């Protein structure tokens, strides 16, 4: 395969913190002697009590992962207090509202004040170290305050993306038995209101029926829209914070004390509560933020993610603030009020580092170059991509049109579970190939294995595993360590299995090919097909459902649903609409089915197992290559499926 390589060492604006030689040297050291390497870099954050032990990790047996275990630190201290002397008046957060006329700058000193007050509000309402606090917020500075206030007192936050439904929110409140919720009256995205408080009220009712009582709801006033009020439970954020004391001592936390839970989808069952801990996570988030984005003192940095996803945790809040950066937080969407919004914001705030998702790039590419070229974008130096494979066309457009051939693109591969970026180019050190996440970050050892677990060497393609721990790795599934072991360390014994397929080329570059399990990636949002199926079968008309992903021009993958109906039901467009509404209600708008095919039966083996391979092929409109169908209980089903397929090209 002929492949274009971009030598950004030569033609980019990168200020290159390190060069290729340094990368090679550090990488070798990090693998040869992780104790020494991380022992040194662990000091990039401040410790109340320095660690003497660096790494104590095992991927076998009970899978115990501990980093810096005897050290004491605090995340909010590292993200705020330690910067006050030097940069108390520097802007910590630039907030850009949904409406372009709405923005705000928060200095590190103001951040300290806000976070301390909120921490005191939480404390005075009985929130203690180890308690779980659910955050269901729009992209407003208070979301960052809430995260940092939790870390200040040692409470564990669990952020639920504002696009999730009351049911999904309830499930997450119940799973971690959260008794304190922080939300807003309404969210605002693309000019549309999201009824966050109303959803929270509904979720709390559902949680109550599942024996979890939420004691308090702290409500930020964002739109001043009408909300129902429960006086014995609800607290206005602005009133409580105004009355609170402006100083709060940071709790001394052990490196392995839980920092946050973040729910993510897997191939089976309910979403898992991914648990990250304090010390290792922060070291890893801050180090990757600095080196991957080539972050320099004074840079304006913008990651367009939502704090409801891990990208927002590590690369809007914790990594940048630990580094004393100015981080931009954007409430809106890429195409409101126009498709030039991103670039208008870049010019307005003179953004140097810009990090977004391929789905946004593809959508903006579709809107035409004019929306980009009419803006300056001169401040840009590094561009980043995350969340799904970036197709070379989108990469080229991002590089040529957005970056004007001057900005290296860091295609960063990682996962909720990994806490931070694992495979990525480093600006100034790595030659780029469009579509490749290139090489492992320091301390990361990727390995490709075949389906039997045999290690594949050289230029090859297989299942991506990581053979040893890095500090940002998740430590357990909240409340279910057995599930942690089963999900990640049992497919290939003694290795962390990522769930991704991957190719390694002749230069040792890694090319992520996508999930090899029943997880799909829709607009960079990760979803278990089993979750969508279970939402569908909870509708009265549905007897059985099978969900697969199929290639989608903008979203990366679309959601294709095969459905068999209950006796007497008719599969028509009215029912299709009802099912879409039902899934949105059960999970949220991000899970909206794109295609629904009604079918008298699903292709099953004689033992009753649905043959998803066949369903995937038909959804892709590639039915000439269905492979062996001889094991099907009723091969006739396949003809009907093909005849009525919903994705004819
Ligand atoms: C899955 C993880 C990482 C934060 C956002 C998503 C896919 C992620 C890339 C990339 C190809 C990517 C993988 C991974 N993915 N980044 N640069 N190239 N694929 O986190 O929701 O936990 O999803 O996203 O399939 O397993 P997540």
DSSP assignments along 492-539, one per residue: TTTSEEEEEEEEE-TTS-EEEEEESSSEEEETTEEEEHHHHHHHHHTS
Please answer whether residues 148 and 133 qualify as being in contact, where contact means their C-beta atoms are separated by less than 8 angstroms.
Answer: no
Q: Whose CA is nearest to atom 20 of ligand 1?
A: 415
Q: How many CA atoms lie within 13 A of 476 on its CB side?
A: 15
Mean pLDDT of 18-32: 96
**Backbone dihedral region for residue 523 (phi beyond 0: left; psi -120 to 50: alpha; all else: beta):** left
Q: How far is the CA of 295 from the centre of ligand 1 (A)?
A: 22
pLDDT value for 9: 57
Task: Summarize pLDDT for 599-644 with one digit per residue, the tens.
Answer: 999 999 888 888 898 999 999 998 887 877 878 888 888 999 999 9
Q: Alpha carbon of 21 to those of 430, 478, 510: distances in Å?
A: 10, 41, 19
196-209 vs 166-175: helix crossing angle, rounded to 10:
50
Q: How far is the CA of 20 from the centre of ligand 1 (A)?
A: 25
Please answer whether residues 547 and 536 qualify as being in contact, where contact means their C-beta atoms are separated by less than 8 angstroms.
Answer: yes
The band of 2, judged by pLDDT with boundaries at 50, 70 and 90, is very low
pLDDT value for 8: 63
Q: Is 387 in the pocket of ligand 1 (CB under 6 A)?
A: yes
Q: Which of 309, 362, 414 to mutate to test the pocket of ligand 1 (most atoms within 8 A of CB)?
A: 414
Cα radius of gyration rounded to whole Å, the chain: 24
pLDDT value for 462: 98
Q: Count, in order, helices (H) and strands (E) of the chain.
A: 22, 31
The band of 267, judged by pLDDT with boundaries at 50, 70 and 90, is confident
Q: Which of 510, 512, 531 to mutate to test the pocket of ligand 1 (most atoms within 8 A of CB)?
A: 512
Q: How far is the CA of 588 from the centre of ligand 1 (A)?
A: 20
491 is annotated as contributing to ligand binding: no
Task: Summarize pLDDT for 397-417 with one digit per residue, the tens.
Answer: 999 999 999 999 999 999 999
Query: What is the CB neighbour count within 10 angstroms for residue 224?
Result: 8
pLDDT value for 145: 99
Residue 13 CA from chain centroid, whole number = 28
Give yes or no for residue 61 having a pLDDT over 70: yes
* Residue 68 DSSP label: S
526 is annotated as contributing to ligand binding: yes
Task: Summarize pLDDT for 222-254 with one digit per residue, the tens.
Answer: 999 999 999 999 999 999 999 999 999 999 999
| Spatial distance between the Cα atoms of 549 and 526, rounded to a whole number of angstroms | 11
Q: Whose CA is nearest to atom 5 of ligand 1?
A: 387
Q: Whose CA is nearest to atom 13 of ligand 1?
A: 388
Task: Summarize pLDDT for 179-217 with one digit per residue, the tens.
Answer: 999 999 999 999 999 999 999 999 999 999 999 999 999
| Spatial distance between the Cα atoms of 616 and 641, rounded to a whole number of angstroms | 11
93, 320, 184, 77 alpha-carbon torsion, rounded to 10°: -90
Q: How far is the CA of 490 from the centre of ligand 1 (A)?
A: 21
Closest ligand 1 atom to 437 CA: 17
Q: In terms of C-beta density within 10 A (0-12 exposed, 13-18 middle, 19 or more buried), how is residue 191 classed? A: exposed
Q: Which of 392, 473, 521 to mutate to test the pocket of ligand 1 (most atoms within 8 A of CB)?
A: 521
Mean pLDDT of 269-278: 95
pLDDT value for 1: 46
* Residue 58 DSSP label: -
Percent of the chain with pLDDT over 90: 92
Q: How far is the CA of 514 from the centre of ligand 1 (A)?
A: 8
388 is annotated as contributing to ligand binding: yes
| Spatial distance between the Cα atoms of 194 and 163, rounded to a whole number of angstroms | 8
Mean pLDDT of 11-25: 83
* CA-based nearest residue to 137, from 114, 169, 100: 169
412 is annotated as contributing to ligand binding: yes
Give yes or no for residue 443 having a pLDDT over 60: yes
* CA-based nearest residue to 165, from 583, 461, 469, 493: 583
Is the bond into 337 cis (omega within 30 degrees of 0)? yes
Q: Alpha carbon of 331 to those of 94, 316, 336: distances in Å?
A: 11, 12, 11
Closest ligand 1 atom to 519 CA: 25
**Backbone dihedral region for residue 588 (phi beyond 0: left; psi -120 to 50: alpha; all else: beta):** left
- The count of residues in the chain is 649
pTM: 0.95
| Spatial distance between the Cα atoms of 582 and 649, rounded to a whole number of angstroms | 28
Task: Summarize pLDDT for 513-556 with one digit per residue, the tens.
Answer: 999 999 999 998 999 999 999 999 999 999 999 999 999 999 99
Q: Strand 595-598 to strand 556-565: parallel, antiparallel, or no bridges (unpaired)?
A: parallel
Q: Is 313 in the pocket of ligand 1 (CB under 6 A)?
A: no
Q: Is 515 in the pocket of ligand 1 (CB under 6 A)?
A: yes
| Spatial distance between the Cα atoms of 328 and 579, rounded to a whole number of angstroms | 38
Q: How far is the CA of 578 from the centre of ligand 1 (A)?
A: 31
Q: Is 311 in the pocket of ligand 1 (CB under 6 A)?
A: yes
Q: Strand 455-456 to strand 446-449: parallel, antiparallel, or no bridges (unpaired)?
A: antiparallel
Q: How far is the CA of 505 from the centre of ligand 1 (A)?
A: 20
Element (H or E) spanning 617, and its range? helix 612-619
The band of 13, judged by pLDDT with boundaries at 50, 70 and 90, is low
Question: Which ipTM was obtained for this model?
Answer: 0.99
Give yes or no for residue 43 having a pLDDT over 90: yes
* CA-based nearest residue to 8, from 427, 509, 391: 427
Q: Is 334 in the pocket of ligand 1 (CB under 6 A)?
A: no
Name the H helices within 154-275: 166-175, 196-209, 237-243
Closest ligand 1 atom to 311 CA: 4
191 is annotated as contributing to ligand binding: yes
Give yes or no for residue 12 having a pLDDT over 90: no
Q: What's the sign of the alpha-carbon dihedral 459, 489, 159, 551?
A: positive
Mean pLDDT of 563-572: 94
């Amino acid at each position: 395969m002929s492949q274009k390589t971009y030598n950004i060492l030569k033609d980019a604006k990168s200020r290159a913190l390190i060069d290729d030689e340094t990368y090679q040297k550090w990488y070798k050291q990090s693998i040869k002697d992780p104790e020494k390497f991380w022992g040194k870099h662990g000091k990039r954050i401040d410790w109340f009590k320095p660690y003497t032990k660096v790494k104590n990790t095992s991927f076998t047996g009970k899978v115990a992962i501990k980093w810096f275990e005897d050290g004491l630190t605090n995340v909010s201290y590292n993200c705020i207090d330690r910067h006050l002397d030097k940069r108390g008046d520097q802007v910590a957060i630039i907030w850009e509202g949904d409406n372009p006329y709405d923005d705000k700058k928060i200095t590190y000193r103001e951040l300290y004040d806000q976070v301390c007050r909120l921490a005191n509000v939480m404390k005075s309402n009985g929130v203690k170290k180890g308690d779980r606090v659910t955050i269901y917020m729009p992209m407003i500075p208070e979301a960052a305050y809430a995260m940092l206030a939790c870390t200040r007192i040692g409470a564990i936050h669990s952020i639920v993306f504002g696009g999730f439904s009351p049911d999904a929110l309830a499930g997450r409140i119940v799973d971690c038995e959260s008794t304190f919720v922080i939300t807003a009256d309404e969210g605002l995205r693309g000019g549309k209101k999201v009824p966050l408080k109303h959803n929270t009220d509904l979720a709390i009712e559902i949680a109550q029926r599942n024996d979890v009582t939420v004691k308090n709801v702290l409500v930020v006033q964002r739109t001043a829209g009408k909300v129902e009020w429960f006086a014995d439970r609800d607290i206005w954020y602005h009133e409580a914070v105004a009355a609170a004391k402006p100083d709060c001592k940071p709790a001394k936390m052990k490196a392995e004390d839980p920092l946050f839970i973040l729910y993510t989808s897997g191939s089976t069952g309910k979403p898992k509560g991914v648990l990250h801990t304090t010390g290792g996570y922060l070291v890893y988030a801050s180090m990757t933020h600095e080196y991957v984005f080539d972050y320099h003192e004074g840079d304006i940095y913008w990651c367009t993610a939502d704090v409801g996803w891990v990208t927002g945790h590590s690369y809007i809040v914790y990594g940048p603030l630990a580094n004393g950066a100015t981080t931009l937080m954007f409430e809106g969407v890429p195409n409101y009020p126009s498709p030039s919004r991103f670039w208008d914001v870049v010019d307005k705030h003179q953004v140097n580092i810009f990090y977004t998702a391929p789905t946004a790039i593809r959508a903006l590419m579709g809107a035409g170059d004019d929306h980009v070229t009419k803006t300056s974008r001169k401040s840009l130096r590094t561009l980043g991509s995350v969340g799904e494979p970036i197709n070379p066309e989108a990469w080229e457009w991002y590089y040529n049109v957005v970056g004007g051939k001057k900005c290296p693109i860091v295609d960063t591969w990682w996962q909720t579970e990994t806490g931070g970026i694992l495979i990525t180019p480093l600006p100034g050190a790595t030659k780029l190939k469009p579509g490749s996440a290139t090489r492992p970050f320091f301390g990361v050892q990727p390995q490709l294995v075949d389906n039997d677990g045999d290690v594949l060497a050289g230029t090859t393609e297989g299942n991506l595993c990581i053979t040893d721990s890095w500090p940002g790795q998740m430590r357990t599934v909240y409340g279910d360590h057995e599930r942690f072991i089963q999900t990640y360390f049992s497919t290939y014994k003694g290795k962390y299995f990522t769930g991704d397929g991957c190719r390694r080329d002749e230069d040792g570059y890694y090319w992520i090919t996508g999930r090899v399990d029943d997880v799909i990636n829709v607009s960079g949002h990760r979803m278990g097909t089993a979750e969508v199926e279970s939402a569908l079968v909870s509708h009265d008309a549905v007897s059985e459902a099978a969900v697969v992903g199929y290639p989608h021009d903008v979203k990366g993958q679309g959601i294709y649903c095969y459905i068999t109906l209950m006796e007497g039901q008719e599969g028509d467009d009215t029912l299709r609409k009802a099912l879409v509404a039902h899934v949105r209600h059960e999970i949220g708008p991000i899970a909206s089915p794109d295609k629904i095919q009604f079918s008298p039966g699903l292709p099953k083996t004689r033992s009753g197992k649905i043959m998803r391979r066949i369903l995937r092929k038909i959804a892709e409109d590639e039915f000439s290559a269905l492979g062996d169908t001889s094991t099907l209980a009723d091969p006739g089903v396949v003809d009907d499926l093909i005849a009525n397929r919903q994705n004819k090209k």
